[in-house]
Amino acid sequence: MLRVGLFIGVLGLVGTLISGLAAMRVYDQESMLDRSALTREIDIHANLVQERLSERELLARVAVGIFRPSTVASANALQPLRASIYAFKTDFVVASWIARVPPQEFGRLEAELKRAGFARPTIRSFDDSPIDLAAIHEPADVVMDVEPQNQQTLVFPGRILDDHPVVGPMLREAMEHGTPVSSDPIALFGDPRQLGVVLAAPVMKENSQSVVGFITISYRLAPLMLGNDEMSLFNVTLANPRPGGGELAVNGNGEVVTATAPPASGWVPFLRKVSFGGRDWTLKYYAKPNSTSRAGDLGLIVLAIGLGLTAALCGLFGYVAYNNVRLSREIQARIGFERRLTTVIDELNHRVKNILAVIQSIVTRTLRHGADLDSARDLLIGRIHAMSNVVTLLSDSQWQGVKLRGLFEARSIPHADRIAIDGPDITVSARAAQSLSLLFFELASHSDEGLSLVGKHPHIVANWSVSGERPDTTFHFRWEEFNTSMATRRPDSEFGIALLERVAPEALGGTSKRYFTDVSYVYELTAPMVTVVDEHELNRTTKITRHG
């Protein structure tokens, strides 16, 4: 059987290795194909983004080319450009004309804004707060016209943008280089959910290199760079150029948010750079889990087929071997059962002999010559009943011992309702339980001889404790009957004295003493825990129980 099992094991191992190698080969091939498809789709997306950005930059250059510097201070400067802006269909959010004018022209600008019918025809800060115009000594960039003109955009004209944290640096850079410049991502209309980018193109004075203003066009960032569909193989994010870094991504509502964590796919993200507004933008592409799982699924299918064939082949050999040894196993099981049955019967005989010997001793000592027959009968019944109760408890626990508190139940000892017990919840061995059960019955049966001197039945306190370090721990038991004295307490019988002073202490390998105090009767028992618990007996009983 061992050789057959070894052959089946080798066969299964070889089949498993071959199946694993085949699955790895399929996984590698499919992963390579998936990576190639992913790279191709990423390149297509990056090229489309670049084309889209180039179109927007071209629109700005065209707008600058057809703009006339004579309309610098006009509040309707974008009128000639409106047709061109819409002709490109670039889905811009807002276009504006920002005039760069000296401070002495502010009065004329306000008059022009008022003539154009804007609601706030005053020169003010970018956040609409008042500004001290007399303190401005350098040319300022003032919004003069917007397109489209609606409730959101009509509040822009009249704002000075030099101090704007995003637009201000962008305008200065565009004036310095003389080419279109894009801004960092900015919240359009002050709404952080509408993140976009602004492209500023400087307008030069005719036959001069001096800048007279800027044409700015803003776009939403989501469709401009992060546009993607649900069927694509990747998720795209934008490296955030603003302070703090991070990545920008589109959420389920189409809003651009800061990505808290990159999508998990197991692949390093692909990087692509696109150019817009005189700067490079980095796009990061993360493979979607479903684009990398196909290769794993195919590999698992191949592995499952290989393992299935290996299991079927091993199963055939196993079935043949099982039929050959089944009869042998049945014979061995029968022999083992008979051995265990013999062991259980021997243990049962041993326990029955012990119990019968104890009962014989109880009967002999209780009904000895000269004893009062009625009292002896009651004691005999009580002692046998106590033995019966402890045997029942041991049987319920499969002779694995008895909880010490269970020996104080009303069915095993008299006057249990007057006994206050206190002590740790320990389990005593079968032999200790039999001795302690008789001991507790003997103590309780002599505690109620009429009433005490104070007219009350004795109050009994039984407590025990365990002290010392293993393996030298010691069991201490104390029985104390209050409101009793030598005159009121029933005298212990000869059997009771022998049990209290000799039989129980010797059975537990300990010592005992009993005495009267001014107000009570006390019995104390001290024994080593190794005999109270008797782990040797517990282990032996456990083995028999398992084998049975």
Both 274 and 371 in one domain: the answer is: no
Strands 195-204 and 181-182: antiparallel
Is residue 357 a part of any domain in this protein?
A: no
Both 371 and 283 in one domain: the answer is: no
Is residue 22 a part of any domain in this protein?
A: no
Is residue 335 a part of any domain in this protein?
A: no
Is residue 245 a part of any domain in this protein?
A: yes
Both 126 and 251 in one domain: the answer is: yes
Cβ-contact 440, 413 below 8 angstroms? yes
Both 281 and 381 in one domain: the answer is: no
Q: What are the φ/ψ torsions at residue 263 (nearest 5 degrees)?
A: -60, 140
Is residue 517 a part of any domain in this protein?
A: yes
Both 419 and 536 in one domain: the answer is: yes
| Structural domain of 240 | 45-287
User: Residue 414 belongs to a domain with what CATH number?
Assistant: 3.30.565.10
Is residue 329 a part of any domain in this protein?
A: no
Q: Please tell me the pTM assigned to this model.
A: 0.52
Give me the half-sphere count of Cα atoms (radius 13 Å) on the Cβ side of residue 423. Answer: 23
Average pLDDT over residues 345-373: 61
d(CA 79, CA 57): 20
The whole-number pLDDT of residue 450 equals 47
Average pLDDT over residues 26-49: 85
Both 371 and 277 in one domain: the answer is: no
Q: Based on the structure, what is the number of domains in the chain?
A: 2
Both 271 and 404 in one domain: the answer is: no
Cis peptide before 528 (omega within 30 of 0): no
Domain boundary (247, 262, 287) is at 287
Rg (CA), the chain: 50
d(CA 500, CA 478): 12
Report residue 418 as tokens: 């007057």
Both 373 and 279 in one domain: the answer is: no
Is residue 324 a part of any domain in this protein?
A: no
Both 401 and 271 in one domain: the answer is: no
Q: What is the pLDDT of residues 65-93, one digit of tens each?
A: 887 766 677 888 888 777 777 776 678 89
* Residue that has been written with the tokens 């399929």 in this structure: 26
Domain boundary (243, 258, 287) is at 287
d(CA 274, CA 137): 39
Cα 450–456–461 angle (5° rounding)? 100
Is residue 293 a part of any domain in this protein?
A: no
Cβ-contact 288, 234 below 8 angstroms? yes
d(CA 202, CA 200): 7
User: Residue 131 belongs to a domain with what CATH number?
Assistant: 3.30.450.350
Residue 174 CB coordination number (10 Å): 24
Q: Which residues pair with 249 in a beta bridge?
A: 257
Both 282 and 374 in one domain: the answer is: no
Domain boundary (254, 287, 320) is at 287
The whole-number pLDDT of residue 27 equals 74
Both 281 and 429 in one domain: the answer is: no
Both 270 and 404 in one domain: the answer is: no
Least confident of 116-125, 136-145, 175-184, 301-310: 301-310
Q: What is the pLDDT of residues 101-137, one digit of tens each?
A: 899 888 888 888 888 888 888 999 999 899 988 888 8
Lateral strand order in the sheet of 270-276: 256-258, 247-250, 234-239, 279-287, 270-276
